Amino acid sequence: MDLRKPRLDRVTLCKQGITSDDLFKAIDQRGSDLGNKQRNDSQPEFKEIRQLTIEARARRWSPARDIPWNSIRALPPDIESSISQICTTFLQFANTDLAILIKWLSKIDYATQVEKSFLITTVFDTARRFAAFQHRAVVSGEDVASTPTSHMCQYLLEIDSWLEALTSLCLLRGLFELTVFEYLSRHSYNVAERILYSNVIQDIARFLSYGLVSVRDYNAKNAHTKRNVCSIIEKGLKEFRLDLRVSSFRESLATIFAGGRGSKKSNGLSIFNEMVQVHIERLQKTLTWLDMRISTTELLDQTDNTL
């Protein structure tokens, strides 16, 4: 039954043989596009979400108080400008995440307060991430660099279903960010960066824990939605490939990993390629866990050694 059709009164419904049960089913179906109906706060999965909310509040951090910014010493200009460039990219990611979360928060049913509360903590986490990377970008006197608009960000903003947006945020954005932050942590230049990346990793992991469990539970109940989500992810992977080709992103990370430009850059690029490989392996494992059959082998083409 399609609820988008014009108003139906009770007499018309009776004439068409539609019962109130059919009507409620249709409303449930429509509500479930927001990923929240067919659930209520007493269901077991909400216990986990409630725990995540408590955890988010208890483990929150402050960029001003918890990051020792004064541990940052002057770095060679090429490294500093690369860090500034990559921080700007993370600003763009955080901005997009915020826009998506805020767009859908207002549409999620108030009956599922637990989910709403958790997503609000995620909004705070993302805003904190934005503030922290903005500060890191300019702390050594560099300006916030200009960065090309990410294909993936545009793609995420255009998705018009919460479940699809959530899946894409987790699988296309979150998992990749985690791997990048792990590698940046390995190649960080001071204590401030190490603590910053560690804190961001725990925030993103918390959101992914919520997202992946929600997607798995939902997919288990709705085969047709699962197919839609799979096709959204497949399209998203193409955008991801385009983003990997952006030279400023590759070059900035390669410079940070190698500790400078020039002859060291090829070494940095091989670390970048290793990072992409690690990400693809993790993505494939996660897709298998979600029982989503999507091939990621095309992404391996991106691990060439040219800029």
Name the residues that contact other proteins, by CB under 8 A. Answer: 51, 54-55, 58-59, 178, 182-183, 185-186, 194, 198-199, 201-202, 204-206, 208-209, 212-213, 278, 282, 285-286, 289
In angstroms, the CA 8 to CA 78 distance is 65
The tokens for 274 are 């290793």
Neighbours of 39 (CB within 10 A): 22
Smaller CB separation from other proteins, 150 or 199: 199
Reduce the DSSP state of residue 75 to 3 states and report it. coil
Q: How far is the CB of 108 from other proteins (least distance, A)?
A: 22
**Residue 292 and residue 236 in contact, taking contact as beta carbons nearer than 8 Å:** no
Q: How far is the CB of 166 from other proteins (least distance, A)?
A: 15
E strand or H helix that includes residue 277: helix 265-289
The tokens for 297 are 């082998």
In angstroms, the CA 48 to CA 45 distance is 5
Q: How far is the CB of 286 from other proteins (least distance, A)?
A: 5
Smaller CB separation from other proteins, 145 or 254: 254
Strand ranges for the chain from DSSP E: none
Smaller CB separation from other proteins, 201 or 294: 201
The tokens for 47 are 């216990």
Spell out the alpha helix ranges (H) of 67-190.
Answer: 77-105, 113-138, 151-158, 162-168, 175-186
Smaller CB separation from other proteins, 281 or 304: 281
Q: How far is the CB of 61 from other proteins (least distance, A)?
A: 9
E strand or H helix that includes residue 205: helix 191-221
Q: How far is the CB of 106 from other proteins (least distance, A)?
A: 27
Of 18, 244, 273, whose CA–CA distance to 151 is shortest? 244
Smaller CB separation from other proteins, 91 or 208: 208
Q: How far is the CB of 196 from other proteins (least distance, A)?
A: 12
Smaller CB separation from other proteins, 54 or 157: 54
